[in-house]
Amino acid sequence: MNKGNALIAALLGVVIGICAALVYSRFSDERKFDGDYSQWRKLNLILQQIEQNYVDTIDVRTMTDAAVEAALHKLDPHSVYLPPVELKESETELAGNFEGIGIQFNVPNDTAIVLNVISGGPSEKAGLMQGDRILKVDDKTIAGVKTPQDSMVRLMKGPAGTKVSVTVSRDGTEIPFEIERGKIPVNSVDAAFMVNDTTGYIRLSKFSRTTYTEFHRAAEKLLSEGMNRLIFDLRDNTGGYLDQALLLSNEFLNKGDLIVYMEGLHRPKEEFKADGQGSLQDIGLTVIINESSASSSEIFSGAMQDNDRGVIVGRRSFGKGLVQEPINFTDGSGVRLTVARFHTPSGRCIQKPYSADYDYDIFERYAHGEMTDADSMKVDTSVVYHTRAGRKVYGGGGIVPDIFVPIDTTRATGFYIQCNKKAEQMRFASWIFDRYRDTISGIEDFDELKNVLDGMSLDRKFLSFVSRDGIVPSDSEWKKTEPYIMPQLYALVGRFSKLEDEAFYRFYMEIDDTILAAVNSPGEVTAEE
């Protein structure tokens, strides 16, 4: 390039640079906006500018939802935006009923197997039976194609009055059913029975709209059978409605006893106290919790512990003590906004701190040894709280049990791990039911069920069953595993009887260290000396 051309190129570069600067200036210096954060002005201006000036067409709904989700994510882990489908599912889960076809099923081997047909429900009326393998829902094949279990549920659920076609395999024969969906009751009390002559057991899975009614009915039944002490199992109960936790707490506490209080920046302190009308004030109480017991479960447990009303057994609870206020919109979506925190009667905040590892807290507990060693529990000892009787309790998130029960890691032989990987226990239970359907399905007495299962040589049949998959234990492995795995097999097969979950928990408690600790614990607590 000669000097003249180089000079021209340089001049053009200067001119283009000046033009670009002028264009940039036009859209920056001359169009500066007030970035005041008050009244959410900056956010509104940004969204407005996106809508008016973005290079491509935008979806306003998607942009709005994304902005809301991002904003709530900065608040706390539990303030959330729920699109219409998720909001409906969330409300249905706690409503005490849902609309669908009325079955319970397991998926042990990539095929949904009907575990229970709800009495009086649409599926029973249509003719579905225990043990049926579900092949298709409408025209969609769901067997053998690795369909997620929640997707199966969505296909079968639907508004009452609508119809769905379900094709099942029964004894090798394909049978199509047309089922009209209806209202299906969902129980929150999984099991209620007497452990011995004086001790009752109730397992509660959630705090739904019907929880208090269900619990009261179960407690009355156990009282009539001689109960003077109750083991109340809240493990894996993630909570639910506050009013149900208050009603259940009220059953055990004296008049004026504080159950819980809540307080927030825009919510003045509000206390909830027992009215003294509860029917279980004189019943001994042991409450079982674990790392997945949360929210309403922790409100109940904290109330019993701080009032010295019951012994808490298990492992430190989850630590979710936030008051979630619903804000619903006309399009079916909604926000669950944290407006206050729950505190136990002694003043402990139930909510655990928001840490960087909050979402992985349970994994952290395993990693730091908390699941096996009580001394590894993270508690805040800088502030000491006291129960009514003067016992020391600590905050830091969750409810710390009075009696710690570690998870048992000693039973996990190589044989047992292999069986779990292939869901051998569940598949075996279905296999046994297929062969003894007429015998098992009609049993409604536990002793009769146990006698029948004792006569089936389940140990020999199970070893033969798993050997088909190449799983063969050594003599020492089987000797170590047998006492642990056989009650599981009894429990899973027993679930196919009319006793359903009661059979499962009664058999399983033989190897449940936490229940055994609860049975052997004192029914009441005393002040520290």
pLDDT digits (tens, 9 = 90+) for 54-88: 999 988 888 888 888 899 988 988 999 988 877 77
- Where is pLDDT greater, at 251 or 3? 251
What is d(CA 333, CA 327) in angstroms, rounded to the nearest whole number? 9
pLDDT confidence of residue 9: 52
Domain assignment of residue 86, yes or no:
no
- Where is pLDDT greater, at 37 or 112? 112
Structure tokens at 215: 């619990």
* Percent of the chain scoring above 90 in pLDDT: 51
Domain assignment of residue 4, yes or no:
no
Domain assignment of residue 243, yes or no:
yes
- Domain range enclosing 163: 97-185
What is d(CA 201, CA 234) in angstroms, rounded to the nearest whole number? 11
Q: Which residues contact 160 (CB under 8 A, 6 or more apart)?
A: 99, 181, 182, 183
Q: Are residues 162 and 236 in the same domain?
A: no
pLDDT digits (tens, 9 = 90+) for 328-378: 999 888 999 999 999 999 999 999 988 877 878 888 888 889 999 988 887
Domain assignment of residue 522, yes or no:
no
Q: Are residues 181 and 194 in the same domain?
A: no
Cβ–Cβ under 8 Å, residues 204 and 215: yes
151-160, 333-342, 428-437, 492-501: which has the minimum mean pLDDT?
151-160
Q: Are residues 249 and 279 in the same domain?
A: yes
Q: Are residues 222 and 155 in the same domain?
A: no
Q: Are residues 222 and 133 in the same domain?
A: no
Helix axes 458-467, 424-435, angle to 10 degrees: 120
Domain assignment of residue 458, yes or no:
yes
Q: Are residues 208 and 277 in the same domain?
A: yes
**If you count them, how many residues does the chain have?**
529
Q: Are residues 402 and 427 in the same domain?
A: no
Residue type, 238: T
Q: Is the pLDDT of residue 470 over 50?
A: yes
Average pLDDT, the chain: 87
Q: Are residues 164 and 273 in the same domain?
A: no
Domain count, the chain: 4
Q: Are residues 345 and 332 in the same domain?
A: yes
Cβ count within 10 A of residue 391: 17
Structure tokens at 482: 């047998």
Mean pLDDT of the 233-242 span: 94
**How many whole angstroms from its chain centre is CA 136?**
28
Does the model's pTM come out above 0.85? no
Degrees to nearest 5, angle at CA 467 with 466 and 471: 75
Catalytic residues: 295, 306, 320
At 5, is the secondary structure helix, strand, or coil?
helix
Domain assignment of residue 383, yes or no:
yes
Domain assignment of residue 87, yes or no:
no
Distances (CA, A) of 208 to 275, 370, 449: 22, 30, 31
Residue with tokens 């900056």: 42
Q: Are residues 306 and 224 in the same domain?
A: yes
CB-side neighbour CA atoms (13 Å) of 423: 11
**Banded model confidence at residue 465, pLDDT cuts 50, 70, 90:** very high
Q: Are residues 396 and 472 in the same domain?
A: no
Cβ–Cβ under 8 Å, residues 168 and 177: yes
Domain assignment of residue 316, yes or no:
yes
pLDDT confidence of residue 24: 47
